[in-house]
Structure 1
Amino acid sequence: MIDRSRLSALLARERAAYADLHPRSAAAYGRAGHLFGRVPMTWMNKTAAGFPIHFETAYGARVTDVDGREYVDFCLGDTGAMAGHAPAPVVEAVTRRLSERGGLATMLPTEEAAEVGAELARRFGVPQWSFTLTATDANRWAIRLLRAVTGRPRVLVNSYCYHGSVDESLIVVGPDGRARGREGNVGAPYDVTRTSRVAEYNDLDGLERELAHGDVAAVLMEPALTNIGIVLPEPGYLAGVRELTRRHGTYLVNDETHTFSAGPGGATAAWGLEPDVVTIGKAIGGGVPIGAYGLTGELAAALSGRSDLDLVDMGGVGGTLAGNPLSLTAARATLGEVLTDAAFARMVEVATGFAGGVRKIVEGYRLPWSVSQLGARVEYRFTAPAPRTGGESAAHADGELEDYLHAYLANRGILLTPFHNMALACPQTTHDDVARHHEVFAAALAELVG
C-alpha cells in the first residue's frame, strides 16, 4: 500500500529538515573526531537522519537538545530511564550519598545492598541476589554459574532475542531452519553454534528438539521478545517452556531487563512465572548503571556447596565496581519511591491509551499493521497479524519506513526508541504527550498514504 518512491522523497525531505533544525548537534558530531564513530558508544549512531541529537537537559518525560528544541521522550534511554529522566527521589538520594557519605569504590558492602536485594526478592520471587553494572554482565555471570552447576556446555536462546552483548545469544534460526550466527556479529570469539542452541519463540516443538540433546545448561529468554519488536507469548507457551526445561534438567533464566515494563515484578510476577534465575538491569537504577541477577534458594545452595568453584576471587564472576554504593543507593530510591505499584498502574494506563490510539489511526488508513503492548511498552509493526516468532518479526522490518517515521516525529518533537518503533511510558508521561504523538503520527501517515 506504500508508494516506495514517495516514501524515499519524503524521507529525503525529512532528513534535510533534520539537518536544518539541528545545526549545533551536527557541529558537535563533527568535532568529535577523537570518539570512535564520533559518539561515546557506537549504538548512539543508530539514527534516522545521519547524526544523533545531542542532548542538553533531560527531566521526566522531556529532553531538550543543544539546539534548544524540546521533545516528548518515548525512548527513555531504551528502558534505562523507565523511571523518567532524573527522578527527584533518585537525584536526592545519590546527592546525599555523594555529599554526606562518600566512598564510592571501597569494595565493602553497604546496608542498602541488603535492602535492594530484599525488594527484588519480593517483586520477582527468587530470594538470593547479586549485583553487576549491566544486565549483559548479569546474564554472562548467570550463564557461568549454570554451566558450573550442571556440567553442561551450551546455552539455548530464542531466535532474535536480546540479552545485551552476550556472545552466546547472537544466534538465530536461518531460512533453512538450521542455527547460524546472527548477521553483523563483531569479532565472535568462537562459532556460536558450538556454544549455543536456538529455537524460535512460541515454538515448543523446536525447543524440545534442541533440549533433547541433553547438553543445555540453561534456557536464557525474555518472557516476551522486545528488541526485535514486541512478540508476545501464545497461550500455554511459557508454561510449556517451564515444563520442558524441568523435564530435561535445564535451568530457566528470565531476562527482565525490558519486560520489566509488564509491572512491578516484570513479566515474572505479572504472568506467574517460576524461573530459576532472574536477570535485570537499566531501569532499576533510575539512570545510574546497575544490573542484578537473582537465584532460587535451591540453586544458590547448590552453588555455595561446591568447594571446587572459586566464587570469591578468580572465578570469573564479579567486577570491582559491581555492587557499588552509588548504584545501590539509586536502586533503593528507584524501587522504593519511583517505580512503585501505583506508578506502574499509571504507566500502563497511559500506554494502553497510546496503543488504542495508534490502532485507531492505522485502521483509519487501512494499513496492514499491528500494535503490541507489554505493560508500559507499546510497539507498532508493519505487518498484521503481529509476528509470533523472532524470525517473522525480523522478516517484516522496513528500515526506510522506520527512518521516515522516526525522522518525521523527531522533527516535530517526538522521540521513539531508535532501534525500532517502541514507545515507553514513564511515571511522568501524560495523556497529552500521547495525544501529541498521535497527532504527529497521523500527519506522517497522511503524507505517506493519505
Structure 2
Amino acid sequence: MDRVRIERLLRREQEVFARRNPRSQALAQRAQSHLPGGVPMPWMTRYAGPFPLFLSWAQGARVQDVDGHTYLDFALGDTGAMTGHSPGAVVTELQARLLQGLTAMLPTEDALWVAEELSQRFGLPFWQFTLSATDANRAALRIARAVTGRPKVLVFHGCYHGTVDEAFVALEGGIPRSRKGNLGPPVDPLLTTKVVEWNDPQALEGALAEKDVAAVLTEPVLTNVGIVHPAPGFLEMLRSLTRKYGTLLVLDETHTLCAGPGGCTARFHLEPDLLTLGKALGSGVPIGAYGLSREVAEAYAELLRGPHADTAGVGGTLAANAFSLRAARLTLERVLTEESFARMEALGERFQAGVEAVIRQAGLPWHVTRLGGRVEYLFRPEAAENGTQALEGQDPLLDPFIHLFLLNRGVLLTPFHNMALMSPATTEAMVDRHTELFAEAVASL
C-alpha cells in the first residue's frame, strides 16, 4: 500500500476528530493541570485521536461523548462491559443493595452463591474474590509459589495479565527481556519469570525441565496481541508437561470468558489448578475471582492456619465486598447466561463474515480471527501462531487509521488493536453498520 497515502488519510481523520469534538478537546486541555497525561488512568492515552474522548453516558451497546456524538460500542470497556453497559437486570437490584450497605468485611450469602455457580461453570470447587483480575492473578501466583516452594513463573510472549510484575517480560530476537515500557519494576522480571513463545512445546518443556517454575500463567487463547489460538494438541501438551514437572497451571479467563458461560475451560474441557476472572463478572462493578482445585485449596488452607491470614499478602479490605458480590450474582444469574452467549457468538460469526467478505473482495493480505463473541482483524495474510507473528501483524499507520475512520462515523473499537466484542445488547444492525463502514475505509485506502 502507498504509505504516504495512508499517512495523509490518517491526518485527515485526526483533523476531522478535532473539529467534531471541541468540548472533549477543552476538557483534555484542562486535564493537563491535574491529571498526568491528561487522563485519570494511563491506558486512556492509547486512543488514536490527538486527545481522548470524554464520556457523557453509556447504555447497552452505545456510548455518548460530551460533544453529543453517540457511538455503537464494540470496545465495551475492553471487556469490562461485555454484559452491555448498565444492564437493567443488574442495575435495578443493585440500587437496592446501595441502601443495604456496601462493605463490612463480613461474608454474604451472595459470595457463597457466586462460588457455587463458578464451581459449576468452571469445574474448580473453591473460590476467593478480589477487586480485579490483576489482584486475582497476583494471589494465584503467590499461592502457587507457596504451595510448590518454587520461585519462578512462566508466561508466553505477547501475554497480558494486568499489572502483574512477573508478566512484564518479552522476547526480542528470541532473547528474554524486560518488556518495553515496564515502569519502575521492583526487580528485573528476568529474575522471577521465564518467557517462551506460544505454541512451542519444545521451548516450554525446556523451561519447565529445570523444575524451578511454580506456575505457568496463561490465557487458554492469547488475546492481547490479536487472537492467537492454540495449535491442535498444544493445550493438552501444556497440561501434560506442567504435571510432569510439578508445575501448577493457572488459566487467566478474564478475556476468554467470551468463549461461553465457562470460558475456554468448559469449552475445551481444560483442567487448570487455578483459574482467574475479572472485568465482565460484575457488569462493570469492580471484582475479580480465582478458583482453586481441591488439592491446591487444601494446601493453601493449611498454610493460612494461625493468626497471620491478614498479613499473608493475599486479599484486601474491600475484596469480597457485599456490593461487588451482589453484582456478580446478578450478572451470572441474569445476563451472562447460555442464551446470551449463544446470541453473542452468532453476532461474532456475522461480524467475522462481513469483514472477511470485504477483505476478500479487495484482495487484501489481511485476516480475521474469532473466539466466541470476540473478533479481531490483523494486517497479515494468515492467523498468527505466536506472539511474535501477531505483533508483526500490527501496523502503526493502519491501526490508528481504521480506528479513527470508524470512530468519526460512529463506531468504537478497542484502542489497542482492532478488536470487537459482542454483548447481549449488540444487534445485527450494529454489526452490519461496522461492515459497511469498514468497506468504506478499505475503499478509501
Equivalent residues in 2 for 1:309-348, closer than 5 Å: 312-348=309-345
Tell me the equivalent position of 2:180: 183
For residues 315 and 309 of structure 1, the distance between their equivalents in structure 2, rounded to whole angstroms, comes to 11
Tell me, yes or no, if structure 1 residue 71 matches structure 2 residue 100. Answer: no
Asked if 1:226 is matched to 2:223, the reply is yes
Residue equivalent to 1:18: 17
Measure, in 2, the Cα distance between the counterparts of 1:396 and 1:335.
Answer: 35
Alpha carbons 2:126, 2:294 under 8 Å: kept: yes
CA distance, structure 2, for counterparts of residue 294 and residue 365 of structure 1? 46
Write the distance in 1 (CA, Å) between the matches of 2:304 and 2:336. Answer: 39
Q: How much does 1:94 deviate?
A: 1.2
Partner of 2:117: 119
Tell me if 1:7 matches 2:6.
Answer: yes
Q: Is the contact made by 1:354 and 1:434 (CA closer than 8 Å) also made in structure 2?
A: yes
Using a 3 Å threshold, how does the CA distance of structure 1 residues 324 and 236 change in structure 2: closer, same or farther? Answer: same
1:74 maps to amino acid: F
Deviations 1:152-171 (A, max 9, x none): 00000001101001010011
* Rounded Cα–Cα distance in structure 2 between residues aligned with 1:342 and 1:308: 42
- Give 1:249's match in structure 2, choosing from 246, 250, 272: 246
Cα distance in 2 for partners of 1:155, 1:93 equals 41
Per the TM alignment, residue 439 of structure 1 is displaced from its structure 2 partner at its CA by 0.6
Post-superposition offset of 1:249? 0.2
Q: 2-side partners of 1:17 and 1:83: how far apart?
A: 31
> Equivalents in 2 of 1:416, 1:279: separation in Å?
25
How far apart are residue 392 of structure 1 and its match?
1.2
CA distance in structure 2 between the partners assigned to 1:390 and 1:308 by the alignment: 41
| 1:256-275 pair list within 5 angstroms | 256-275=253-272
TM-score, normalization: structure 1? 0.97
Post-superposition CA distance 1:259-289 (Å, at most 9, x none) = 0001010000011100000100000100100
SS in structure 2 opposite 1:313? helix
In structure 2, do the counterparts of structure 1 residues 308 and 155 end up closer, same or farther at CA, with 3 Å as the change threshold? farther
Q: 1:310 to 1:254 in 2, by over 3 A?
A: farther
Which whole-Å CA distance do the structure 2 matches of 1:328 and 1:113 have between them?
6
SS in structure 1 at match of 2:266? helix
Post-superposition Cα deviations, 1:93-150, rounded to whole Å, max 9, x if no partner, equal 2101012x12x12111111110011111111110100000010000001100110010
CA distance in 1, matches of 2:72, 2:308: 45
Q: 1:19 to 1:118 in 2, by over 3 A?
A: same
Higher alpha-carbon deviation: 234-243 or 298-307: 298-307
SS in 2 for 1:49: coil
CA 1:165–1:276 in structure 2 vs 1: closer, same or farther (change >3 Å)?
Answer: same
* 1:291 corresponds to which of 273, 288, 292: 288
Deviation of the 1:178 alpha carbon: 2.3
1:163 maps to which residue? 161
Contact 2:223–2:255 (8 Å) recurs in 1 = yes
| Contact 1:83–1:338 (8 Å) recurs in 2 | yes
Deviation, 1:174, is 2.0
Which of 411, 414, 424 does residue 408 from structure 2 map onto? 411
Tell me if structure 1 keeps the 8 A contact 2:228–2:386: yes
* Match in the other structure for 1:196: 193
Q: CA deviation at 1:185?
A: 0.7
Contact persistence 1:309–1:315 (CA under 8 A): no
Question: Does residue 354 of structure 1 match 2:367?
Answer: no
Range with bigger deviation, 90-99 or 244-253: 90-99
Distance 1:9-1:316 versus aligned 2 partners, 3 A rule = same
How far has the Cα of 1:186 moved from its partner?
0.7
Match of 2:197, as an amino acid? Answer: E
SS in 2 for 1:305: helix
* Residue of structure 1 equivalent to 2:44: 44
Alpha-carbon contact 1:131-1:292 (below 8 Å) kept: yes
User: 1:340: how far off?
Assistant: 0.4
State the match for 1:131 in structure 2: 129
* Cα shift at 1:309: 7.9
Percent identical: 54
Equivalenced residues, count: 444
* Separation (CA, whole Å) in 1 of partners of 2:137 and 2:253: 11
Q: 2:427 aligns with which of 407, 430, 435?
A: 430
1:332-391 CA-to-partner distances (Å, cap 9, x unmatched) read 011100010000000000010000110110111111111100001000010021110011
How far apart, in 2, do the equivalents of 1:384 and 1:268 lie? 29
Give the partner amino acid of 1:9.
R
Alpha-carbon separation, structure 2, partners of 1:91 and 1:222: 30
Match of 1:366 in 2: 363
In structure 2, the partner of 1:89 is 89
Q: CA deviation at 1:305?
A: 2.1
Task: Report the residue type matching 2:303 in the other structure.
Answer: R
CA spacing shift, 1:307–1:52, aligned 2, 3 Å: closer
How far did residue 56 of structure 1 move?
0.8
Name 1:396's counterpart in structure 2: 393
**Offset at residue 30 of structure 1 (A):** 1.2
User: How far has the Cα of 1:308 moved from its partner?
Assistant: 7.1
- Inter-partner Cα distance in structure 2 for 1:124 and 1:399: 38
Preserved contact between residue 103 and residue 323 of structure 2 (Cα < 8 Å): no
Q: CA–CA distance in 2 between the matches of 1:342 and 1:220?
A: 30
Q: Is the contact made by 1:172 and 1:179 (CA closer than 8 Å) also made in structure 2?
A: yes
Partner amino acid for 2:122? F
C-alpha deviation, 1:180, in angstroms: 1.2
Distance 1:377 1:158 in 2: 21
**Greater CA deviation, 22-31 or 303-312?**
303-312
What is the CA-CA distance between 1:396 and the residue it aligns to? 2.2
Instruction: Report the alpha carbon displacement of residue 307 of structure 1 after superposing the two structures with TM.
Output: 5.9
What residue number does 2:61 align with? 61
